[in-house]
Amino acid sequence: MNILVIPSWYPSQKHPLGGIFCREQAEALATCSDCRIIVADWGQNDGALPLSHPLDLLQALWWRAGARRQIRPRNERFFEVFEPTLIWSPKLPGGGNKRICQALRRIYSDAVKMFGNIDLIHAHVSHPGGYLAGLLSAETGVPYVLTEHWSQFPGPLLNGRPRPEIEAAMKGARAVLAVSHPAAEKIKAFGYRRVRVIPNLVAENYFVPRPPSAGVFQFFSMGGIKFQKGFDVLLRAIAQWSPRPDEVEFIIGGEGEQKQEYQILAENLGIAGLIRWVGAIPRAEAPSYFQNCHAFVLPSRHESFGVVFAEAIACGRPIIATSSGGPEDIVNEINGLLVPVGDVAALVTAMKSVRDNYQRYDAAAIREDFMKRFSRPAVVAQIRDLYAEVLERN
């Protein structure tokens, strides 16, 4: 069967980690012997023309000048159809979703010419991906399913309801998937009942257990350095704990608009010597950071899932997370601790507990639990069954 994937976010050379979970799921689904996965790539993260930011606008124009339409084979059953597209404000003629729709029509046509009829569309995130999938489905008669990943779903409400594009995406989908049970409940609260939970996956042959580095106990944390991820809470917890440098070290990976602000906060709190900021971590290097640490911690304010937690337990590491949505489906008595969002004192207690009782966390048991729930074989089987069910009903 031919599956056309329409991701709202997707990796590019400029944004290599944007929507990386969409590409990794597509690659995993291509291991099914009867599936061909075709991803629609219009330069999701690169083609925006922000008129109020001249430098970004020039970068987008330069990107478009050098980009060429192409079909990129990633393996024998996984292809990306690239249709580079500049996108401007929907308030201007021909802007917004209209531009992406034009690109999607060309992508669809190219895919059909090369691979034959499309059997099913799988969209990621209700807007724009799900909304665009609905428009394409209406034009072609191909059914679509929708996976919602957005941790801030549904965004701003209009008269108590999600915006019309999100409503249309949800109502038209033959199945709506949420990546965690708390995320599913947020969706169901608006009356969308055809919701099932299938989590994100992690490549089990890539994130593998190894003994942690010898020496100082190391906590690792990684994510976009922004308010959502709660790094300010982590810094205040480190300051409240105030361990000696020969006891504990904190490694923080990632970049973001608040990095400098948080580095200054660490200086003002007197804990800069306990922290190593390592910047953006290339995908190929990510496993080694989980493998070298003793435990992973990220006190997010909201998450729909939290792939980094699944990556940590894939490497057999205990995790500390917040009750912020997705982590509740990941953390259990085998692999770590949950604390309330924004609770500095509880985070201190949790970090001390993991450090002082580290021997109770069995790396092999943590890994086994991961394999049953979040490995590629475990998740791909669920998605493949869903595809069969939708096509049978269709």
CB 23 within 8 A of CB 11: yes
- The model's confidence at residue 214, banded by pLDDT at 50, 70 and 90, is confident
DSSP H stretches of helix in the chain: 20-29, 54-66, 97-115, 131-140, 164-172, 181-188, 231-241, 259-269, 286-292, 307-314, 344-356, 363-374, 376-393
pTM: 0.94
Q: Quick count: other Cβ atoms within 10 Å of Cβ 265?
A: 17
- Could you check whether 2-201+375-393 and 217-374 share the same CATH topology? yes
**CATH code for the part of the protein at 217-374:** 3.40.50.2000
State the average pLDDT over residues 31-35: 93
pLDDT at 319: 98
pLDDT digits (tens, 9 = 90+) for 275-334: 999 999 999 999 999 999 999 999 999 999 999 999 999 999 999 999 999 999 999 999
CB 171 within 8 A of CB 179: no
* DSSP structural state of residue 351: H
pLDDT at 194: 81
Q: Flag whether pLDDT at 45 surpasses 90.
A: no
**CATH code for the part of the protein at 2-201+375-393:** 3.40.50.2000
- The model's confidence at residue 383, banded by pLDDT at 50, 70 and 90, is very high
pLDDT at 220: 98
The better pLDDT of the pair 111, 394 is held by: 111
Question: What are the extents of the domains in the chain?
Answer: 2-201+375-393, 217-374
| Mean pLDDT estimate for the chain | 95
pLDDT digits (tens, 9 = 90+) for 84-116: 999 988 888 888 899 999 999 999 999 999 999
State the average pLDDT over residues 110-126: 97
Backbone conformation region of residue 322, classed left if phi is above 0, alpha if psi is from -120 to 50, else beta: beta
